[in-house]
Amino acid sequence: MKKNAIFLFNILAFSLFSILPSFEIEALKDSTEISKSLLFLFIIFNLVVIITCIHFYTNFHIRLYRFDVILLIITSYITINRYLLHTVPFSINYYEFICLLALFFILRSIPRKTHLYIFLAIIIGGIIQAAQGQFQLLGYLHSKHAIFNLTGSFSNPGPYAGYLASVFVLSLGIYSTRKLNNIDISSENNSTKQTRKKINQLVNSIIKLVPTMGMLSILIILPVTQSRSAWIAAISGTTYILCQYVNVHSLIKNHVRNTIKRRFIYFISLCVVIISLYELYDYKTASADSRLLIWRITISMIKDHPLIGLGFDNFKSSYMAYQSKYFSKQRPVEEVKIAGDVDYAFNDLIQFTSENGLIGTIGLFFLVLSLFKASKNSNYEHLLPARASLLSLFIFALFSYPIQILSIKLTLVSYLAVITYSLGRSQPVYSKMIDITKVPSKTKMVLIFSLFCLSIYTNRKLNQLKNAYNAWEQAYSYYLNQNYDLSISFFAKAYPYLYNNGPFLMQYSKALSMGNNHIKTLILVNQGLKYYCNSVMYIAAGDSYKNLKRYSEAERAYITASNMLPGGFYPKYLLLKLYIEMGLEDQIRKTAKDLTSMEIKIHSIATQQILFEAEEVLEKRTIQNIRKK
């Protein structure tokens, strides 16, 4: 029975790691992410219930190590900080975090042979994504982004490239340790010796073939993603693996005896690295500068909430308000060009600190320290691929947001589980054998029935959430077709389940504003700003205030939206229309001049129309002044 259970788990784990990154239900809003999240939550929760029920009939050993204890303390702190100390927005990320924690402990307790199967599944998932990217470039598949034509099954090319970079490093790591990965399944099969030999050869050939295919397929597509962060991550992980086999310092020392020549080689190498980093910065300067701006504003958030931060997954509720405040005081021309609506800090460490404060960050620091101790002096064959892949993700996280993407978090958990597997050889902090025979049968039945009811309730909630996202997608589709009445009706269907989802409330309020339901728009905007601060929210509020003749409040809303997007034409254009309706000539001239002097970032018909109207307003005022004179 135990062998059958392990076999079934291997199949489930293999499917989860290989298929989940490509899974998508297009009928759902934000389908590239929410589809994966709902499937993952369904699988892991029910898997935990099944494993728990099985343990009611078999004795089991609980072992907790230093890493586990620190991880559980951080989880408890994040939960308390989120639900007791802050306003709680809807967060699928939090539920993912809890299920990923459960998956980590499951992976840690399985036989070590399964680790290789999981790594192969991750590589196969990467191969599928690389193939999908190729088909997108060739035009056979559509991209998941309106601007970029290469995203795989992700919503943006950045996370797509980061995922591929991590899988590339994993493939290289598995390939480099291929001689240690030979599997002998003779003990698992009752067939003849000759047959077993053929099966072993076939299995081990696959083990060597899959990493090779992973490296080659990703190597073709990764440069096309144009993601510098992913390039650096892939190079870092690759360098780490190579350094385990080649001692560069000793190599140079053995072949170059002259000390001056050796120092010259080191100096030239350092110059090459610096020049390469500068070239990468110069490759897309605006993108790099926008990250620096985001980090600078996020640090100001940390200064205002240093100890406990804003709460887990609460970055979106505050960042744009800080950006608006920043540009209300100063508007450097170069920063105005690169400012936009921001959902992520593009540095997971900085974002983690802004959300969980210094307390959470210190806890994370000790967690990393315990991780290094876990893998120290271990000769586990899968340790090198796991550490190298984890390093690549860490480097990528310094410039992007992989910890916000489920497919990447899934690989991260597998790396951590393999690295901490070596803890089994050290002394646990807590160890106890649970003798299940001492638990009365009635108690077992009550607990199993309770778990069964909990499973039904959770699956029902997940199905309701799926239906809500489906209604949201239909509502948004009708909104784009300007059928606002139908759009509002579908938003209303989803509202009971997404009432604290910031992006949902933003789009719902915009639909209500376009449908001339201005009182309800303002109610939803005020509700939504607790969970998601965005220029669209303030524009919807400004439109409704304007239609209700509450001009001073409309002016404040439009100015706030304009400060959030200082390089955006639309908020300032709406402000100009408001001043014209109010008859404020000085403000009309100033705003029109500001519009005509703005630099166009993206040329469009709408922008040209706005500039034409602003120039027309200025020309009309100029003619009026001449006539007066």
Where does a domain end: 381, 413, 436?
Answer: 436
Overall residue count recorded for the chain in this entry: 629
CA 179 to chain centre: 35
Output the pLDDT for position 578: 92
Region class of 148: left (phi > 0), else alpha (psi between -120 and 50), else beta: beta
Tell me what pLDDT residue 216 has: 94
Same domain, 494 and 387: no
Report the distance separating Cα 145 and Cα 340, nearest Å: 17
CB 405 within 8 A of CB 413: no
DSSP annotation string for 554-573? HHHHHHHHHHHSTT-HHHHH
Check pLDDT > 90 for residue 166.
yes
Quote the Cα angle for 55-61-66, to 5°.
Answer: 125
Tokens of 353: 């600190």
Does some domain include residue 462?
A: no
Quick: pLDDT tens for 374-391.
Answer: 555 556 678 889 999 999
Query: Average pLDDT, stretch 503-522?
Result: 92
Average pLDDT, rounded, for the chain: 86
Range scoring the smallest mean pLDDT among 54-58, 242-246, 383-387, 447-451:
54-58
Structural domain total, the chain: 2
Q: Are residues 499 and 580 in the same domain?
A: yes
- Are 430 and 477 in a shared domain? no
Is 450 among the domain residues?
A: no
Assess if residue 192 is contained within a domain: no
Nearest to 571 by CA among 558, 585, 584: 558
Same domain, 75 and 222: yes
Residue 4 pLDDT grade (very low, low, confident, very high; cuts 50, 70, 90)? low
Full domain range(s) for residue 565:
470-628
56 and 104 belong to one structural domain:
yes
Contacts of 393 (CB under 8 A, 6+ apart): 162, 166, 233, 402, 408, 411, 412, 415
Q: What is the mean pLDDT of residues 300-327?
A: 92
Residue 453 counted as domain residue: no
CA dist list (Å): 492 to 386, 485, 524: 46, 11, 12
User: What average pLDDT does the segment 85-101 reach?
Assistant: 88
Tens of pLDDT, residues 568-591: 889 999 999 999 999 888 888 898
Q: What is the pLDDT of residue 371?
A: 82
pTM of the complete model: 0.90
Of 436, 458, 483, the domain-final residue: 436
Q: What is the mean pLDDT of residues 298-324?
A: 93
DSSP 3-state assignment of 63?
A: strand
Residue where a domain terminates, one of 411, 436, 461: 436
Higher model confidence: residue 15 or residue 98? 98
The 10s digit of each residue's pLDDT in 207-254 is 788 999 999 999 999 999 989 999 999 999 999 998 888 766 666 666
Residue that the structure tokens 């109207």 belong to: 613
Q: Give 179's pLDDT tier (boundaries 50, 70, 90).
A: low
- Same domain membership, residue 407 and residue 531: no
* Residue 325: Cβ-neighbour burial (10 angstroms; 0-12, 13-18, 19+): middle
140-160 tens-digit pLDDT:
988 888 788 899 999 889 999
Residues 107, 413 contacting (CB under 8 angstroms): yes
- Assign 2 a pLDDT band (cuts: 50, 70, 90): low
Q: Is residue 254 situated within a structural domain?
A: yes
| Same domain as 419, residue 306 | yes
* Distance of alpha carbon 531 from alpha carbon 302, whole angstroms: 18
CA Rg value for the chain: 28
Max Cα distance, the chain (Å): 108
More confident of the two residues 55 and 598: 598
Q: What is the CATH number of the domain that holds 542?
A: 1.25.40.10
| pLDDT at residue number 1 | 47
Assigned token pair, 403: 């910890």
Predicted local confidence at residue 411, as pLDDT? 95
pLDDT value of position 164: 96
Cite the DSSP H helix spans in 177-284.
193-221, 228-245, 248-255, 259-283
Specify if 153 maps to a domain.
yes
Give residues with Cβ within 8 angstroms of 399, minimum separation 6.
228, 229, 232, 291, 346, 347
> Residue 600's closest CA among 591, 589, 609?
609
Whether residue 182 has pLDDT greater than 70: no
Residue 130 DSSP label: H
Q: Are residues 222 and 345 in the same domain?
A: yes
Look up tokens 């994370």; give the residue. 364
Would you say residue 191 lies in a domain? no
Check whether residue 409 and residue 523 sit in a common domain: no
Same domain, 408 and 298: yes
Considering the domain boundaries, does residue 458 fall inside one? Answer: no
pLDDT digits (tens, 9 = 90+) for 316-345: 989 999 999 999 887 787 888 888 889 999
Shared domain check, 153 and 87:
yes
Tell me: do 370 and 516 sit in the same domain.
no
Pairing of strands 430-434, 60-64: antiparallel
